Structures are given as C-alpha cells and as structure tokens.
A and B are shown apart, each in its own frame.
Chain A
C-alpha cells in the first residue's frame, strides 16, 4: 500500500515533502518523482552522496596509473632515443596520464551511474511507464 501525491509546482511539492519528513515518516519509505532535478529534495530526505563518485575516483586513479605505466614501461622496454631526451619523460607522460584519467574517470562514472541506478531498467522500458511532468511523492505504508 502506498500513498501517492501529485503536484504541479515544485514549491508545493517541497512543502509537502518537508511536512511529511517532519511528521516522522521515514525518508527511506518515501519515493519521489520529479520532472527536473530538485536538490532541496535530496537535502530534506537526508540522502547520502551518490556512490557514483567513488566509481569516478577509482576510475580516474586507474586511468592516471595506466597512463604513466603504459608510457614508461613501453619506453623502457625498447629504449629509442629521440632528440636525446630522457627515455622516461615525466612532462609528456603526464599528458597521457591526464587524458586517460579523464577518460577512465568519465567512463567509470557513467558505469557507476548505470549500475547504481539499476539501469537499463528493462521492466520500465517494456512496461512503458512514463517520465511524467509532475512531481510525485509515494509514501510506502506498512
């Protein structure tokens, strides 16, 4: 059983949400739907920061490490002097590391989003539930 409340304006929606939480409803029993991001709602529901950023951090660090390792180890594997520059050059290899950090970080963040949001939500795709324009609060009772 759940109570479903529908609002047309963000203001009304937030007002009601605050009311609900203040009245003692467990935020974890409240599901909300919004047509656009509402940061205040996350605050009211005391939501922890998304785990996606951990994915991004790990991805970024992996990328940077891959960058430095790929460049340095391959250069040392068959040292070919070019312009008599050092075989392992930190400035040029930093660029590669940086790019790979961004690449891996961004892709990991996306992957994190997909995983933590349990998307693609096959059931939703098939059942053709809609992303409506209204603000909704679903309170789980019982």
Chain B
C-alpha cells in the first residue's frame, strides 16, 4: 500500500482505539446548558438567598440560607434581626447537618408486631393513627416542645378537634423557677430579653447567657456593641461549676452548689436603697444574710462579695439575672425570686431587663407536669399519645423508667426527624421535614415573627410539622384537606395584611411591642434557701454550648467540633477540678466511677481549671444520673448532691484534642508575654522615645513583601471572642471540610481548619479562647519546603494551597509553627447520601494524600473579584467576608484588605492592642490579635 493509504489505516486504527476506550455500554448523557432558566433570576453558579428560621433550639433565630444548585449549602443569620442580627450560634451553623443527616428518617415507620419498626406509606401510617385515635381507650394526649406562632395555634385546633389534651410543652430547660418567680412577683409568665449593652455592671448567677440561657447570640452581639462603645463595663459571673460564659465575664466566682440564695440575699440586703411599700415588704421577707454568713455558706471570699455588692450598689444601669444550673436545685425558686427582686428594686425592668421583648414560655410546663404525665401513664390512663418533635426519653435519660412508663400508653405516635430513644418506642413514626424544607413561622420574642420557608424540596418522604397535623386531621375527617403553606399564608394575610409579603421577603416582621407594666405584687413566699445546703461532692449537669440540652448531639458535626473549655470532641467525659483530680490521683483519661444512690456510670476524666473542689461536671448529652426535680419550682435539678466518685484505675482512650490547657511559658496568648515579641516590635518600642525611626531592613535581612493591590488579612478581638466555636462550624460547612471521625480524633488527626485554643491561667482564674487558623504568613515557613510548589505565596498575601499538585510529603505541616495544616490521611471526601449534598460547589473536595488548610475563603475572594470586575472596580470593603467572620456572634473576627487604609482590618491591625502570634519567629502572620483591654490575667 502507498503512504497515503497507510496513514488512513493508521487514523482508523487510532480512532478505533479511542472509540474502544469509550464505554459504549453506558448510556451517554448530553449536557445542554439552560436556554430558559428554571426560575426567574436563577443562574447556575450564582447563589440565591432564602430567609427562614433555625429550629435547632427554642430561641428561633432568623436564618439566611445560601442556595446553590437547588439546595442550601450555608446558613447565616439575617442582618438587622432584633434577636440574632446576622449571626448564628454553633448549633445554628451546624443545622445543615441535621437537614442532610444520614440518620434522617426517610419514610413513615410502623411497628410490625415483633418489635421492629418497618417502612410504611403515609396512607398506611395515617390510617393506623386514625384507627388508634378511634379505638384506644384512655385520654389522648399531645406533647411537644416549645412551639410558637402558627404551629402553636394549629396544635390547639388539632387537639380540640380530636379531643386530645394538649399537655404543657416539654423543655428540659423550662425556666420554671424564673417564670414562677416572675409570675408570683410581677404577674408575668415570661422570660425577659436582656440588654447587657445598656448596662455598666452585669451580674449573672448560673445563667449561661452565652451558651443556652435566653438568647445567646443576642447577648454576644450586645457584648460586642458594648466593647465597641468603649463604655466601662464590669461583669461578674457566679456559678458552681465552670462554664464558657463564666470565663468570658470580667470575673468568674465559684459558689458552692445550691447556695446561690445566700449570695443573692446578701446582695439584696446590701443594696442600701430606701424602699417603701411592697418593695420593702418583699425585701424584709428575704432573710438577712451578713457578709460573714454569705462567705461561709457560699465559699466566696469576703473581698469578692464586697466587691460585687459595691459594684452593684454604685451601678447606674445594672443587670442581674439568675438561671441555668443555679436555679436547678431545691432552693432554685428562692434564687430566681431574689434575683427578680433585685431586678425590681434596682429598676432594671424596662432598662436592661426587657419584658416588652420577652419570650413566651407560657405554654411550656415543668417537671411537675412530666411527673403528672408519668403517673397517668403508669395508671394506664393514657390512650393515644402524640410525642411531637421532642425526644422525651432522651432528655429524661436520668429517669430510667420513664421509657417504660411511656410504653404504657395504648398507642404512641412519634413525630421526628432522626431516630432517637423516644421514636424507637413508638408504634407509628411520622417523619418530619426539616425547617429548611417547610413552611411556617416562629416568634422568638414578643413583637417579632420570623418566617420559615423552604430552601429546598423535601429530600425524603417527609412532611412539615404543620402538614403532619393537617393530614391527620384530614384523615380523621376532622378538617378539610389543606396544606400548611396555605394555612400559614392565610394566617399571615389575616394578621399582617400587606406586610405579609415583607415577612416572606425580609424574613421577619417587627410588630410594636406592648410595654408591659411590671409592678410588684403582694409578697407570698417563704424563703427556705437556708434549709438544706448542698452537700459536696456534688455533680453539676451543665447545659452544653454544642448540644443545648443534649438534643443536638445527634449532629456529628457537633461532636467533631470540640467543647471549647475541655477540647473533648466525640467522647463523653466528666470534668474534674485540678485540686480534686490531684486529691483523687487521677489525670486526663483516667476512668472514674460516679455513683449516686443506685445509679452509677464510668466516665473518663478531663481536668477543668477553675472548677472548684469537690464539684464534678458533666454536660447534658452525656448520660446522667436521675437528678430529680424541685417540687417548689418544677425545675429539673442541675445539681446532684452526695455523689461518690472513685477512680477505677483504668485509662480510657478519649478524644481530647488539646495536649495542654496552659501556655507552658510560651507567649501564645496575645498579650501574655510581651517579652516574646519579636525584635522589630521591641526595638520600635524602645526607639519610640528616642525618635529614631527603625526600618525593616535594620532588623531583618528578608525583603519586605510587595503586594500591589490587596493584602488579605484578618483581625481578631480577644475581648469579643467568647469561644462558642460558631466560626468552626461555619468554616467546616463552607469549605467542605470532612468530618474525620472519632477514631481519627483518638489518633490526633482532626481536620477542622479553624480551631479554638483554650489557654487557662495556671490557677484557673481566667481563660483565653484563641481562634487560630492558617496565619497566611508573609514569610511562611511552610512554603519553601514543599518540593513541588504545591504551596506558595500569591501577590495578594495569601498562602495558597494547590490541592492537585500536592504529593503529600507533609513537610509543610511539620514546618508550620502554628500547626494549622491538615492532612487527608484517608479518602474522606466521599460522603454518604444525603451528606454529599452538604457540599459547597465553589470549593473542591480533597482526596487522600493531600494537605489542606484555611484559605481565607479564597472562593469568596474570587467571587468578589468577579463581581467587582464586572462592575469595573476593585474589591471594596464590605463586598464579602470570610465564613468565620460572618458567623461570629461576638463580631470578634474582621477580614479585609490590609492595604485599604479605611478598612476595619487596617484599623484593628494598627491598633495599640494589636499583636501577632509567635511574632518572634519572624513569620510575618496576616492575622492580628487584639489583646484584651483588661490585660492578661496571670500567665
């Protein structure tokens, strides 16, 4: 054959081999770009935002959900909202982990007769429920958690039409003592809104205002505003245990568990106000407590007691609130009442204590109601019981036999989203859509209503809470078939008129709040706080910033992120004070047996600086003892006295992420060790008086980096960071950071890009929570050592990490002095459905063998640059910010262009309080830390 023909045959041969490479057995699919977008304004690759609400805890913060490709990939608060003003707590940030949880119940379940729950259709399940309602004997009951707005109204209708008794709503954190105190003193059954930003002296007794009490995000926001205002501000926090809130206060005071009544009584009587009438009789009805008596009973030093009393007395706008574990004992009602009295006497009501914007807990019951329910169950008086989106058995885990009582109901209908202890007992389980898949509304505080609207279509065969009720009603023939969407929209149209459109668009409506008139009623109470002081050793069961009352422990992201105080991530533990641990001869990970009466458990120890002698602490979510409840207030006990804690002698592998809770002489806390500051700064300070201007080349032979337009930098105000770890959750979700899991944590392989490093003073008197991430150093030690240029410095100041170039030598992470690089030890990028939907399409997934780290949200930088380029300008301050900065409830993190002299990060970076971590190493970090105004307590 000739040459031409040969080439032709060669072409065919090679073409054939290409064809052979195609898998023709697979159906080929075509990619056709949109000619007509599915909905107006939807452009693939661009995000849209939907306003809705968070339902992770009863507060009801607003949510702005960022939608990409038909599903939400990130949530933040709605800026300007009266409660959460653009921020979400760690649980709110992690709420997507509930939406996309692998354990979500995907269709209705029914008992099959041999004790197993098997899948069923809605028709089957609803038919079964209808039948049960008709045939079971006994009273039908309906129990839910706190509800508000349209859902609460619908539940009323539901209960009425089906002849059901609507039981008082169940919340473990029922605020029963506070409400009882408010009710009996002021006639108001509500939880007031707090305004610490209007206060100059704040005293919190047990109330974990930054974790779960009241509106934690709002409190953090208010604190932030207070710091910005520059006004003087002192905050005393009194608690029997050790909480994140306590360490954030100006001074944290340990009080013997159960003796807060003495403390408050002492305060009340030392106010020195001249009172008349009812106020006077109220105050006289509180037993007098002298300074000595208070000191002796509470264990608080005399000087401290005097200091607090003096501060309160001299305050112009004080704020005092009691709650949390301090009202969870026999004298809890006394504590709440005296606190309320102090509020009234010092005129806090209407200024720093706001009943106009109160939260309505009037339908929420207390443990007394649960007790009554239990009796009725045990007496076989209950017919069909609806347990509606509340894990009763899980929350009452201390009551071992509540589960068996619940089973005595003739028929149990459980409504929920993730299988839990309660649902597994039910005869029929109706799966609940997540709030982000539903319509509805919620009233976080009086005068504010948030919309709940779907950010995506339901992932599974589930219904929203309202739809479940309406379907049951329709099935039972008690109402016409309608959707909950229609129901709420009708209600909004009726109640808000044309403003209803605003509700859906803006996400919330503020209606005028009626100024409640708060005045003292007749005194009617005998104070008994002196009767039975708490006996130590005591166990305090504390609220958890990660899990609330334990309910959010279902979300694995909230186990992956460690507890800010102890840095324990996945495992349960018991906190033991330093002195107590030494006395018991235990160290971290030592196992101890905790025995209360007949109940016992074994838990590993984590030593907690600042936790007082002979007080032990576990968090809700860790299975606790039967704590009982106060007969006077109905509040669940948070303090269990007379516990016996004995070491078992074993060491238990525990997922503790921090190797040391102390600085160990290194200046890793901003402002703690000025002598560790680098030579440049020291010499500058020395030369400042001599007028000699020190130049960079005088102290370093490295060239000054030259950034043409942007130098992205971050600044963190240590006064504003409370340690809540919302930034960690936000970053993890924004950047598709994998959850490495318990086994990896045991081996020391965490993956989160930003972390909170807690450093305590040696004596446990103070805590610095330092959020750290890749410092994007000018002279990054990690860059020169990578043999393949997988990490280098770009001309905007970022230390870029090129995932697909990384060969995984891990020298970069060895060389990072801040240890902020994370390695993918396994293939963690594969997520099972539906967790694979919790991925941000703007960020690539990293495979095994690659190094990753914080990128200052480079995907957002890029997006902002695209937008700016379209508009023909540079990126401006305020165009975008990083996920962590956006999430922080305290506003502690700012991000921007350091070269822009008008930017906030420039201002903070050049502030007199500004410093950088490990400055003396000469790495030139791009993250600036503002040390605390009050100086570093101890070293």
Q: Find out whether A and B make contact in their complex, taking CB atoms under 8 A apart as touching.
A: yes
Binding site for B on A (CB under 8 A): 80-86
Is there an interface contact between A83 and B789, defined as CB atoms closer than 8 Å? no
Interface of B is mostly: loop
Please name the residue on chain A nearest to B795 by beta carbon. Answer: A81
Q: Is B506 close to A, CB under 8 A? A: no
* B766-780, CB < 8 A from A: 778-780
A-side contacts of B786, CB under 8 Å: 82
- Report whether B789 and A84 are in contact in the complex, using a CB–CB cutoff of 8 Å: no
The residue of chain B having its C-beta at the shortest distance from the C-beta of A78 within the complex is B789
**Chain B residues near A80 (CB-CB < 8 A):** 789, 792-793
**Chain B residues with CB below 8 A from A82, complex form:** 780, 783-784, 786, 789, 791-793
* Contacting residues, chain B, for A85 (C-beta < 8 A): 702, 784
In angstroms, Cα B815 to Cα A83, docked, is: 12
Expressed in whole angstroms, the minimum distance between the Cβ of A89 and any Cβ of chain B is: 9
Q: Tell me the nearest residue of chain A to B702, going by C-beta.
A: A84
B705 within 8 A of A: yes
Instruction: Report chain A residues within 8 Å CB of B705.
Output: 81, 84
Question: Do A84 and B779 touch across chains, with their CB atoms under 8 A apart?
Answer: yes
Q: Is B678 positioned at the interface, with any CB of A under 8 Å from its CB? A: no
In whole Å, how far is B528's beta carbon from the nearest beta carbon of chain A?
Answer: 68
- B667 partner residues in chain A, CB cutoff 8 A: none
Pull 12 A–B residue pairs with CB atoms less than 8 Å apart, ordered by A.
A82-B780, A82-B789, A82-B791, A82-B793, A83-B779, A83-B781, A83-B783, A84-B705, A84-B778, A85-B702, A85-B784, A86-B703
Name the interface residues of B720-738: CB closer than 8 Å to any CB of A: none
- Please, which residues of chain A bring their CB within 8 A of the CB of B778? 84
Minimum CB–CB distance from A29 to chain B (whole Å) comes to 58
- A80 to B792 Cα, complex, angstroms: 6
Give complex CA distance A86, B703 in Å: 8
B884-929 interface (Cβ within 8 A of A): 924
Inter-chain contacts of B792 with A (CB < 8 A): 80-82
Residues in chain A near residue B784, CB distance under 8 A: 82-83, 85
Nearest CB of B to A85, in Å: 6
Q: Give min CB distance, B926 to chain A, whole Å.
A: 12
Smallest CB-CB A-B distances: 7 pairs: A82-B783, A80-B792, A83-B784, A82-B784, A81-B793, A83-B783, A84-B779
Q: Mark B775-819, 1 if CB is under 8 A from A, else 0.
A: 000111101101001011100000000000000000000000000
A59 to B: closest C-beta gap in Å: 26
Cα separation A22 to B344 with both chains bound (whole Å):
128
Q: Which residues of A contact B924 (CB under 8 A)?
A: 84
Bound complex: CA A84 to CA B789 (Å): 13
Alpha-carbon distance A85/B103, docked complex (angstroms): 51
Shortest CB distance A72–B (Å):
16
Report the Cα distance A85→B703, complex, angstroms: 8
Complex: chain B residue closest to A79, CB-CB: B792
User: How close is B784's CB to chain A, nearest CB, in angstroms?
Assistant: 4
Q: How far is the CB of A76 from chain B (nearest CB, A)?
A: 14
CB-CB < 8 A to B779: which residues of A? 83-84
Q: In the complex, what distance in Å separates the CA atom of A97 from the CA atom of B712?
A: 37
In the complex, what's the smallest C-beta–C-beta distance from A1 to chain B, in angstroms? 61
* Chain B hits for A84, CB < 8 A: 702-703, 705, 778-779, 793, 924
Give the CA-CA distance A82 to B791 in the complex, in Å. Answer: 8
Shortest distance from the beta carbon of B813 to any chain A beta carbon, whole Å: 15
CA distance in complex: A81, B703 (Å):
12
Query: Which residue in chain A gives the minimum CB-CB distance to B703?
Result: A84
A131 to B642, CA, bound (A): 96
Q: How far is the CB of A61 from chain B (nearest CB, A)?
A: 27
Nearest CB of chain B from residue A88's CB, rounded to whole Å = 13
A127-B15 Cα distance, complex, nearest whole Å: 53
- B781: chain A residues at CB < 8 Å are 83
Whole-angstrom distance from the CB of B12 to the nearest CB of chain A? Answer: 40
Inside 8 A of B783's CB, which chain A residues have their CB? 81-83
1/0 per residue, CB under 8 A from A, across B744-781: the answer is: 00000000000000000000000000000000001111
How far does the alpha carbon of A80 sit from the alpha carbon of B705 in the complex, in Å?
A: 13
Min Cβ gap A69→B in Å is 19
Q: In the complex the two chains form, what is the Cα distance from A74 to B298 in whole Å? A: 73
A83, B705: Cα distance in complex, Å: 10
Given A81-B792, A82-B780, A84-B702, 15 additional A-B pairs, CB 8 A: A80-B792, A80-B793, A81-B783, A82-B783, A82-B784, A82-B786, A82-B789, A83-B779, A83-B784, A83-B793, A84-B703, A84-B778, A84-B793, A84-B924, A85-B702
Residues of A within 8 A of B703 (CB): 84, 86
Contacts of A83 in B (CB 8 A): 779-781, 783-784, 793
Contacts of B780 in A (CB 8 A): 82-83
B821-868 at interface with A (beta carbon < 8 Å): none
CA distance A83 to B792 in the complex (A): 8
Q: Closest Cβ of chain A: how far from B789's Cβ, in Å?
A: 5
* Nearest opposing residue in chain A for B778, CB measure: A84
Closest to A85 in B: B784
**Considering the chains assembled together, what is the distance between the CA atoms of A84 and B784 in angstroms?**
9
Interface string of B693-704 (1 = CB under 8 A from A): 000000000110
Of chain A, the residue at the smallest CB distance from B782 is A83
Q: Which A residues touch B793, using CB under 8 A?
A: 80-84
A121 to B362, CA, bound (A): 106
- Cβ contacts under 8 Å, A86 to chain B: 703
CB distance from A25 to the nearest CB of B (A): 61
**B704: nearest chain-A partner, CB-CB:** A84
Complex Cα gap A82–B785 (Å) = 8
Contact residues in A for B791 (Cβ distance below 8 Å) = 82
In the complex, which of the residues A83, A84, A85 has the most CB atoms of chain B within 10 Å of its own CB atom?
Answer: A83
A65 vs chain B, min Cβ distance (A): 23
**C-alpha gap A81/B924 in the complex (Å):** 15
Produce 1/0 per residue, B500-516, CB < 8 A to A.
00000000000000000
**Within the assembled complex, what's the spacing in Å between the Cα atoms of A80 and B788?**
11
Minimum CB distance partner of B792 in chain A: A80
User: In the bound complex, what is the Cα–Cα distance between A84 and B793 (angstroms)?
Assistant: 8
A64 to B784, CA, bound (A): 22
* Residues on B with beta carbons closer than 8 Å to the beta carbon of A81: 705, 783, 792-793
Provide the residues of chain A in CB contact with B789, threshold 8 Å.
80, 82
Give min CB distance, B818 to chain A, whole Å: 15
Smallest CB gap from B780: residue in A: A83
B777 nearest CB neighbor, chain A only: A83
Bound CA span A84–B707, Å: 11
Pick the most buried of A80, A81, A85: most chain B CB atoms within 10 A of its CB.
A81
* Minimal Cβ-Cβ distance residue in A for B791: A82
**Complex: A141 Cα to B37 Cα, angstroms:** 102
Closest partner residue, chain B, to A89 (CB atom): B784
User: What's the Cα separation between A11 and B70 when bound, in Å?
Assistant: 96
Chain A residues whose CB sits within 8 angstroms of the CB of B702 once the complex forms: 84-85
Q: Mark B444-483, 1 if CB is under 8 A from A, else 0.
A: 0000000000000000000000000000000000000000
C-alpha gap A81/B702 in the complex (Å): 12
Tell me the bound Cα distance from A86 to B791 in angstroms: 16
Report the minimum CB–CB distance from A92 to chain B (whole Å): 8
Taken residue by residue from 554 to 589, chain B's Cβ proximity to chain A (1 for < 8 Å, 0 otherwise) reads as 000000000000000000000000000000000000
How near does chain A come to B57, taking the closest CB pair, in angstroms? 46
Residue of B whose beta carbon sits closest to that of A82 = B783
Cα separation A80 to B791 with both chains bound (whole Å): 9
B535 CB to closest chain A CB (Å) equals 60
A120 to chain B, nearest CB (A): 38
A130 CA to B620 CA, complexed, in Å: 90
CB distance from A86 to the nearest CB of B (A): 8
The distance from the CB of B345 to the nearest CB of chain A, in whole angstroms, is 62
Q: How far is the CA of A85 from the CA of B791 in the complex (A)?
A: 14
- Give Cα distance in the complex from A80 to B780, angstroms: 13
Name, among B778, B783, B789, the residue most crowded by chain A CB atoms within 10 Å (CB to CB).
B783
Chain A residue at minimal CB-CB distance from B815 = A83
> Bound complex: CA of A84 vs CA of B779, how far in Å?
5
Please report the C-alpha to C-alpha distance between residue A84 and residue B777 in the assembled complex, in whole angstroms: 10
- Measured in the bound complex, the distance between the Cα atoms of B791 and A83 in whole Å is 10
Residues 42-76 of B, flagged 1 when their CB comes within 8 A of A and 0 if not, give: 00000000000000000000000000000000000
Bound state CA distance, A127 and B924, in angstroms? 72
A86 to B779: give the CA distance in the assembly, Å. 11
